Amino acid sequence: MDTAKTPGRAWYDRQIAMLTAMDLDGIMSQYTDDAIMLRFEGPIIGKAALRKHFEGYLAFLGTFELISTDKYVEAEDSLFFEATVHTATLEARVYDAFMLRDGQAYRHFTGLLGATPLNKG
C-alpha cells in the first residue's frame, strides 16, 4: 500500500513535524478533547492531562529527530508504527498506535522498545 498520500500518513507526518519543532500547540491540535493515551506507566485521560504530559515529555526530550520509520501500517481509521529517534541525550526505538476520528487521535497507545545514550562529547 502506498501510504505517502493517505490521511493516516499525512497525520503521521504532521505529528513528526510538530515533535521535531517542539510545537506543543500543534501536537495538541492532533488530539480530540476526549483522547486517551495508554502506556504501561498508566493512562492519560483527556486533553488537559495530555497537554500536561506533553509539556513534561518535550522538556525531557530536549530535542527530537526522526532517524527512521522502521515499520508502518495503517487502516482506514488507525495507524501503527515503530521508529528510531534521537533526543538530546538518547537514541530510542519507540512504537505508537493511533486511532483517528475526524482527523484527530482519540486513542494513542505508546511505548519504548529500547534506548541507548548518545555520545555527544
Strand order in 64-75's β-sheet?
44-45, 31-38, 104-117, 90-101, 78-87, 64-75
Q: What phi and psi values does residue 20 have, to the nearest 5 degrees? A: -60, -40
Q: Hey, what domains does the chain have and what are their CATH numbers?
A: 7-113 (3.10.450.50)
User: Residue 107 has what pLDDT?
Assistant: 98
**Could you read off the pLDDT of 35-85 as tens digits, one per residue?**
999 999 999 999 999 999 999 999 999 999 999 999 999 999 999 999 999
- Closest by CA position to 24, among listed 41, 48, 5: 48
User: Residue 2 has what pLDDT?
Assistant: 52
